[in-house]
């Protein structure tokens, strides 16, 4: 019979006590989420891999300061966010890859399963345009949209990553959504397209 999966809390306690296997398990468990978040912030795989590596080192180094009972992901995302900005300051220019190169292969999203090819194409096109517009937003707006739309964090968790109250999360998120929508509307207006 397989051993029951340990909770993050237990792993964190064991890792703090010097258990190497617990440290490895924490890394294995959360590395993909950290990588995806880094990818959404940096826009390219190479930088995302670098940021993830550095963030995981920092995460393990700071486990002693981690508060018991708190979820691991917001803490880790906070580190990823800081590391991404450090990298952004060094590089100055954001090198974004196209969405098609970054998508999970062989795993269509649930909304693609309907039978209308035109609607499917339209949604795929919208996904590409959203990704591209996301890269043109200011960092603060991009990060909050990524945390909510792509990482599915609650307002409380987003507040914990960004260090702001929940009310601020809602207003900042709304400003970011409007800015994204305005960016998406620009080419539509120029080309006379109707969504």
The site for other proteins (CB under 8 A) is made up of: 28, 31-32, 35-36, 39-40, 45-46, 49-50, 52-54, 56-57, 99, 102-105, 107, 109-112, 123, 126-127, 130-131, 134, 145, 148-150, 152, 154-155, 166, 170-171, 173-175, 177, 180-181, 184, 195
CB 8 within 8 A of CB 26: yes
C-alpha dihedral, 85 to 75 to 36 to 135, nearest 10°: -40
* Shortest distance, position 17 Cβ to other proteins, whole Å: 19
Distance CA 30, CA 33 (A): 5
Given the complex with other proteins, which of 65 and 195 has the nearer CB atom? Answer: 195
* Shortest distance, position 18 Cβ to other proteins, whole Å: 16
* Shortest distance, position 2 Cβ to other proteins, whole Å: 17
Given the complex with other proteins, which of 68 and 157 has the nearer CB atom? Answer: 157
Exposure string over 111-142, b if 16+ CB within 10 A, otherwise e: eeeeeeeeeeeeebeebebbbbbbbebeeebb
């Amino acid at each position: 019979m397989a051993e029951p999966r340990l909770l993050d809390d237990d792993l964190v306690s064991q890792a703090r006590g010097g258990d190497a296997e617990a440290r490895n398990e924490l890394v294995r468990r959360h590395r993909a989420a950290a990588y995806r978040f880094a990818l959404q912030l940096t826009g390219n795989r190479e930088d995302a891999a670098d940021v993830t590596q550095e963030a995981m080192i920092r995460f393990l180094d700071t486990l002693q300061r981690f508060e018991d009972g708190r979820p691991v992901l917001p803490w880790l995302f906070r580190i990823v966010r800081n590391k991404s900005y450090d990298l952004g300051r060094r590089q100055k220019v954001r090198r974004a890859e196209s969405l098609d190169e970054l998508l999970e292969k062989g795993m269509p999203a649930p909304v693609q399963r309907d039978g209308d090819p035109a609607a499917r194409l339209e949604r795929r096109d919208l996904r590409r345009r959203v990704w591209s517009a996301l890269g043109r937003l200011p960092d603060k707006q991009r990060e909050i949209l990524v945390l909510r739309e792509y990482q599915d964090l609650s307002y409380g968790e987003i507040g914990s990553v960004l260090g702001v109250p929940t009310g601020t999360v809602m207003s900042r998120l709304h400003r970011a959504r409007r800015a994204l929508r305005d960016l998406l509307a620009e080419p539509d207006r120029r080309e006379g397209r109707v969504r």
